[in-house]
Amino acid sequence: MRLHRLVNRIPIPALKTINTYVMKCGSSTVLFDPGMTSEGASNISSFLRQNNFPKHLIVILTHFHVDHVAATPHLNPDEVYMHEADRSHILRMVDEWPLVLDIMKNVFTKGGMPESEVDLLDKKHPAMSRIDVFRSLRELEPKPLPERFTVGDCSLEVIHTPGHTPGSMAVHIGDQHYIVGDTVLIDITPNIALIDWSTNPLYDYLKSLRKLSALDPVKLYPGHRGIIDEPKKRIKELMIHHNHRLGEVLSILDKAGKPLTAYEVASKMTWDIAFKEWSEFPIAQKYFALGEALSHLKYLAAKGKVSLEETNGIYKFSIT
Ligand SMILES: [Zn+2]
Ligand SMILES: [Zn+2]
């Protein structure tokens, strides 16, 4: 079994490219994450043709994000698989639209975001503005990926690693090598955003990192940038990063000396982007930042380290 990595450009400046992985498995081709654009899909198709890959195409999606899934219909796959948690998220988005959007609007409003910014979610949020992508994906009738999946001479094992999305997964392809989607990236910290107050994605994510590390991985194949040759070291760095972040949120609340909204907390956190002032942040970055602040606040609230009071439909957080 040999894994090939194909790299295609995507129109997201912070990420630049997406990795697609492909392998020959008997009379089928197994392909992970087709990517975002039709140009990328046609590069992939040419590669498969030139290298005599089997025509029967099985696509596995590491998670539901548009940069990984949007190009799927362009490849005309015979079968599409994803984790049940992300599969049902997509079905819910499409079949019960705009329910998921309303849940997100509700938590962002409670988080203290101004109404004028919340109202633009379905136009400016990278996922919420691409309901068309999820509609065409749904038409391909994605199936839940079984925990053990054998195709020809390939035997794959699925490890559920929720956090970045509810159905993010790592797929063991043999010899402690894992395809990990966006759960571990080599030089970017994956976005862990809360979009529904009833969830605790940062708790899930840290647990997923521990689970992955305990498997003693030798190589990780991420959705963006380079392959990770020292998985445990990188996983450790990500855990430390979030611990620092949690400390930062606590110290922001401490210094404020009064209860703050999640939006106010987000505006005081340090962000690794080119804009110095919160007011200059592009709106999509504000959505990511607020989602990230909320995921850290929810984690701390569940641990009993911060408390929240709701007044006039807005949460205010303080140190307990
Ligand atoms: Zn992602
Ligand atoms: Zn991604």
DSSP assignments along 275-308, one per residue: --SGGGS-HHHHHHHHHHHHHHHHHHHHTTSEEE
* Residue 139, Cβ density class (10 Å: 0-12 exposed, 13-18 middle, ≥19 buried): exposed
Q: Provide the pLDDT for residue 1.
A: 64
Domain chopping of the chain, boundaries: 4-235, 241-319
Ligand 1 centroid to Cα of residue 22, in Å, is: 19
List the chain pLDDT tens, one digit each, 320 residues: 689 999 999 998 889 999 999 999 999 999 999 999 999 999 999 999 999 999 999 999 999 999 999 999 999 999 999 999 999 999 999 999 999 999 999 999 999 999 999 999 999 998 899 999 999 999 999 999 999 999 999 999 999 999 999 999 999 999 999 999 999 999 999 999 999 999 999 999 999 999 999 999 999 999 999 999 999 999 999 999 999 999 999 999 999 999 999 999 999 999 988 788 899 999 999 999 999 999 999 999 999 999 999 999 999 999 99
Three-class DSSP labels, 233-268: HHHHHHHHHHHHHHHHHHHHHHHHCCCECHHHHHHH
Return the ∠ at Cα 195 (arms to 189 and 196), rounded to 5°: 135
Report the separation in Å between the CA atom of 51 and the middle of ligand 1, taken as the mean of its atom positions: 29
Cα–ligand 2 centroid distance for 317 (angstroms): 31
Domain 4-235 has CATH 3.60.15.10: yes
- What one-letter code names the amino acid at 265? V
Question: Which residue has tokens 């400390």?
Answer: 247
Cα gap 60→20, rounded to integer Å: 10
Q: Which CATH number fits domain 241-319: 1.10.10.10, 3.30.70.100, 1.10.10.1400, 3.30.9.10?
A: 1.10.10.10
Q: How far is the CA of 258 from the centre of ligand 2 (A)?
A: 37
Polymer length in residues for the chain:
320
Distance 164 CA to ligand 1 centre (A): 6
Could you tell me the pTM of the whole model?
0.96
pLDDT of residue 272: 83
Q: Which helix (H) or strand (E) holds 5?
A: strand 4-9
Specify the pLDDT at position 168: 98
Q: Which of 156, 161, 183 is nearest to 81 (CA)?
A: 156
Coil vs helix vs strand at 218:
coil
Cα separation, 194 vs 315, whole angstroms:
14
Distance 65 CA to ligand 2 centre (A): 6
